[in-house]
Amino acid sequence: MSEKIAIIGGGVAGLTAGYLLNDFHQVTLFEKDERLGGNVYTLDTKTGEEIDISVFFWSPRLYPNFAKLLKKLDIKLTTKPMEGLSQSFRNLLTRRDYYLSCDLTKPRSTFSAKNFKSAVYQIMALWNYIKIVRMFRKGQLEGLTLRQALKFCPALKGDLLKLAIFPVCVMTSMLWEELMDTPTEFVVAKIEKQMGTPLKFASWRLYPCKTRVYIEKLAAPLKNKIRLNAGIKAVARNGRSVVLKMEDDTEEFFDKVVFACPADTALRLLAEPTDEEKKLLSPWRYNDGLVIVHTDKSNYPPEDLWAMYSYLYTDEDGAINTSINAHYRFQNGVPDDSGYIGCQHPNIPIDKDKIEFQKVFRTPIYDNRSSGTIRELPSLNGINNTYYCGSYFGYGLHEDAVTSAVNVSRSLGAVWT
């Protein structure tokens, strides 16, 4: 039987749920922003480049539901492996630059003392990671944070430690100190979810299209069923229906509601959350991470050391602060000489005249409290005509957002074949 369903949140999870439920129910999607996509954003630059700001690589093998969704949207999955230098580093205090390369097609990857050191570092980092995984599999690291687990790998220090940890900062959008307080169990599972196992790493691929393509295709069937700039003040439930109380004091009635927004937003909107909702949603905190897209090269390594990611960091008495910088020239469809840089968690001065875009993107913080709720979150679905989905149902990835939305949609009668 067709029902009226409200979906709160227009990111990947909300759009996937709306796309799948639309053929079976009367769906209305509410998005508080003026645009759809959430943390997915394709920027049209002044020079005519199309740049995906925050998401532009994935693994088809490790993202099966996302791959299946792209096929449903008639998007070809053919793409190419990521190219270019893997990582480059700059110590902002000493101005020391160094890099690590895994691209054997570039001139800088020919044998040299620097590249030999790069290879040694990568082997050492992998060996220490395998050691941590083995200890974890034996239950020797149970309940330990990453900071505590690293004490069992004393060789991981200095540059080698940064090589190992900075990429995980990219994967999680978390700051160094936040990541150190994350459970080792989550870190290991997150790496394997995104990269594969130590003995069978997955190939990272560039996206086959701009992210706006699948956002637009997901939204297309919903047409006039999407409300942008939606001001929802509260969500009340009476056991039979759901009432959305809007900021203009109007009310809208639905049979069911799907919260496809951050956990803290859902909890704030609920007029009378249950004890279980409080228990599982209240632990979630979020980073309001500023991302600046600019062309100011003054604080970066020379361009021949640019990587897909560059880390500009300070290290004072073990206190490490790094910004995460994406060089967009490594994306599909972006010119090889593009000067656009995306800086997340900026820790450098940036010439305001060279800033083209800036926006705060909210990302979940995985600590002992929040990560401990992940397995229990699905138990909230179906209670009080209420359902939840989002990337926080897993490891903060597109795959997790899509999978959680698929699960909610199937429980409401949608077909996923």
* pLDDT per residue of the chain (417 residues) written in tens, 0 to 9: 799 999 999 999 999 999 999 999 999 999 999 999 999 999 999 999 999 998 877 778 888 999 999 999 999 877 666 655 478 889 999 988 877 765 544 444 333 444 445 555 566 666 677 778 788 788 888 889 999 998 888 878 888 888 888 888 888 889 999 999 999 989 888 887 776 665 555 566 777 889 999 999 999 999 899 999 999 999 999 989 999 999 999 999 999 999 999 999 999 999 999 999 999 999 999 999 999 999 999 999 888 888 888 999 999 887 899 999 999 998 888 999 999 999 999 999 999 999 999 999 999 999 999 999 999 999 999 999 999 999 999 999 999 999 999 999 999 999 998
Is the sign of the CA dihedral 133, 135, 136, 142 positive or negative? negative
Beta bridge partners of 106: none
Q: Tell me: domain 4-43+64-75+208-284+373-411, CATH 3.50.50.60, correct?
A: yes
* In the block, residue with structure tokens 């062309």: 295
Write down the H helix ranges in 85-210: 113-137, 146-149, 158-172, 176-180, 184-195
Helix axes 398-411, 12-21, angle to 10 degrees: 30
Q: Is the pTM of this model over 0.95?
A: no
Question: Quick check: helix, strand or coil at residue 107?
Answer: helix
Half-sphere exposure of 330 (CA within 13 A, CB side): 27
Give the whole-angstrom CA distance, residue 215 versus residue 12: 7
Provide the residue count of the chain. Answer: 417
Residue 10's Cβ-count burial label (10 Å; 0-12, 13-18, 19+) is buried
Q: Which distant-in-sequence residues (6+ apart) come within 8 Å of 14 by Cβ?
A: 7, 8, 29, 31, 38, 258, 260, 261, 389, 405
Which amino acid is present at 140?
A: Q
What is the pLDDT, as a whole number, of residue 118? 53
Tell me what pLDDT residue 113 has: 42
pLDDT score recorded for residue 377: 98
CA distances from 189 to 167, 186, 197, 263, 373 (A): 15, 5, 9, 21, 15
Beta bridge partners of 258: 7, 387
Query: What does the pLDDT read at residue 81?
Result: 63
The rounded distance, in Å, linking the Cα atoms of 87 and 243 is 49
